[in-house]
A and B are shown apart, each in its own frame.
Chain A
Amino acid sequence: MKHKAKILGALAATLLASSAAYAGEVRVMWYSDGVEGEVIKDLLDRFQKENPDIKITLDNVAYKVVQEQLPIQLEAGQGPDIARVTNIKELAGHWLDMRPMLKDAKYWDDNFGSTLDWMRPDGSDAIPGFMTQLTLTGGFANKTLFEQAGVAVPGEKATWDEWVDAAAQVSKSQSLPAAFAIDRSGHRISGPNVSYGANYIAADGSPAKIDDGVKAFGSKLVQWVADGKMLKETWVAAAGSTYRAAADDFINAQIPFYYSGSWQVANLSSKIGDGFDWVATGSPCGSAGCSGLKGGAALVGIKYTKNPNDVVKVMEYLGREDIVKEFSERTLFLPAHKGVVDKGGLKWVSNDKNVAPALDAFVKSAGQTLPAADALPSWKWANAYYAALVTRLSQVMAGEMQLDEAWAKMDQDIADKVAQAK
């Protein structure tokens, strides 16, 4: 009998100990494009030392996990306590409203206010988190390849046609597989679409029909693939809306021009090193302007957390002005914190001479985005539009359908998504 009591006692103690381990535990799901995984680990380690009562577990995962697995966890009412996400608006219903628990909600409104609508349901005043960085889509040119080919790097107001023609000359001269590549992503081609006059949003806020702006740039993309100017495999060698970056082709000097975004700066710097000189070019122009598309990744609290107060403590630490400044300087990300931006004086932590001019170029081209592009980050149907664009344009590029059919299918795909959400 005594023996049984001892066993039961030990079992109860073990159970109590294991449940105690959950109290104060905060799991952070994090993905990295560049060096930010190491930086956030360092910052969280410092927080951990100052707050030993909170146990932080940092799960560094692939971007695909955040894109594909996190939404399913969230729908099931589970997931981490904090996550770094890019699908910010569509999943807004799952984020934790930290406003009632924040020590100084005004600080968050003042410094992150301009991007809070990107991550909360329409009409809400919730504070779910903050943007870890602001991003802007834009191009990169391999300056060394342009120089070797004796082709001048196109100027500020150069059009997409001028950029592609110049890159094609470099490609031909240097025997490269293609002139340029754009990441396989609807987000990435939306800035250029808007530059050709596209507007995705109808007057009532619902998705508009595919318009002439989309058709103008979409037709060019298809033609560039057919001509061998755009790297075929980035877009063609996948089905559906699967994301594919072409960064490795630029890093390996296979293409002289690459259209992606500011988040690639750290990645290019660390992987290219002194292999060749590269420059950020901003967004080439279309008939309506030279627009990129703003966006970024947000760090948000998850509303299913068992420890909301601890989550808020961690978020308050990471949202501090000095921490945001340090994070931006070390990761080479553009900060989304108004105070940090207004004070300026960011000292980018890089010995690479290409980095500072590249970041300056992105800051400069941020002023050239068009209103139709600026509206997209906080528009809930943006992803439906992006997915339809990628899926159908890829099919045209692969020779499976004609453009006219693709436009009709895109409208149908988007309408289906809207109907499904009702």
Chain B
Amino acid sequence: MTVQTTIGQKIGAAIAAPISWLAAIVDAPLKLWQRATGTNGMAAFFLAPNMLIFGIFVLAPFIINFLYSTTSGNAFFLPDRNFVGADQYRRLLECGSYLDPSSCREDLFWKAVHNTGLFVVLQVALLVVVSMITALILNREIVGRSFWRAVFFFPVLLSPVVVGLIWRWILQRQGLLNSMLYQFGYQPTEWLTDRFWAFAAGVTVSVWAHMGFFTLILLAGLQAIPRDLYEAAEMDGTRPGRVFWRITLPLLMPNLLVVIILALIRAVQIFDEVYVLTGGGPGTSTLFLTQYIYEVGFASLLRNPGLAAAASILMGAVLVVLTLVQLQVGRRNEKKGARE
């Protein structure tokens, strides 16, 4: 009986040959390394490249940023800067009342903190509700469901600058929206020069830009809920509202928590689309923390890299807390999943 070699096997052998050759080359030194350092040493060896990249691109910049926050002056290189200890942090935190930004030494920082706080609350709440409603609709047997899913996801693919520009053209004084209002006999509104409307526009545009991503996560969660639960509820004559609160929402909770935490982190970091849309105005109504750091560190005529670094460290601390919450939630979900 003769064994015929197929073309696929030949290609496989051709690919495997250099890999085997490479494996043979690295085999001996790796064995030597394992003998010298033990199994833990091998783990360190394989982790080293990743840790090196993490060290260069994450840890080192963080340390340098922290060192910058303890210095003052305009010089770029650390040795040329004046060491001022915690002065920049003291300056940022010097306040008559933290609830009144104008009583603070760095009133613009606290204005940005207040704006960011309000933005996070409003944007995340709106984002979660809108994403949930959209996911529930897209989970039903509607006409052109795939098309609608693509439509809602499309803004996620756009660059934030493009998002900001599109909405600025719509909302500016002689923009599309005011032209339409005028056509229908209404007075144009100052969408971007009124403090209330500009903030509302920032929240709305941000929700529009990001909801597709979160809708997708919730949609995946909805599709994982067993159909038989809904069929049983239907047979029992359960009202749709009760089905949502008693079946859909509890079973969607793991996805919902992930959505909330991710949305929170993104909202704290808000910058690009709102910056292009409003420039932080009117006044400082849409000045958020990231823009404050950018302005103070790079863009302003009153540039102060040390102060910007200190503000970014404080903002980083908030993000670390949110990330820890996310990790905690993730672990709890894993444990819960394992129990069930």
Contact = CB atoms under 8 A, between A and B. Distances in A.
A394 interface: yes
- Interface of chain A: mostly helix, strand, loop or mixed: helix
A238 interface: yes
B286 interface: yes
Interface in B274-332: 278-287, 291, 295, 298-304
A416 B307 CA distance: 11
Contact of A420 (B76, B278, B286, B304): B304
Interface string A207-242: 000000000000000000000000011001111111
A241 B278 CA distance: 14
Given A71-B303, A400-B284, A240 B298 contact: no
Nearest to A398: B283
Interface string B185-209: 0000010110100100000000000
Interface string A377-412: 000000110111001001101111100010001001
B193 A232 contact: yes
B74 interface: yes
B302 A387 contact: yes
Nearest to A178: B173
Nearest to A402: B102
Nearest to B75: A75
Instruction: Determine the interface band of chain B, counting residues with CB < 8 A from chain A.
Output: 35 or more
Given A75-B75, A75-B76, A401-B102, A233 B283 contact: no
A240 B299 contact: yes
A232 B195 CA distance: 12
A241 B301 contact: yes
Given A236-B193, A238-B280, A387 B301 contact: yes
Contact of B281 (A67, A239, A401): A239
A55 B295 CA distance: 36
19 contacts: A87-B301, A177-B173, A232-B190, A233-B173, A233-B192, A236-B193, A236-B281, A240-B299, A241-B300, A242-B299, A244-B279, A394-B283, A395-B283, A397-B282, A398-B283, A400-B195, A416-B302, A420-B73, A420-B304
Interface of A: 67-69, 71-72, 75-77, 87, 177, 186, 232-233, 236-242, 244, 383-384, 386-388, 391, 394-395, 397-401, 405, 409, 412-413, 416-417, 420-421
Q: Which 4 A-B pairs have the closest CB atoms?
A: A398-B283, A239-B280, A75-B76, A238-B279
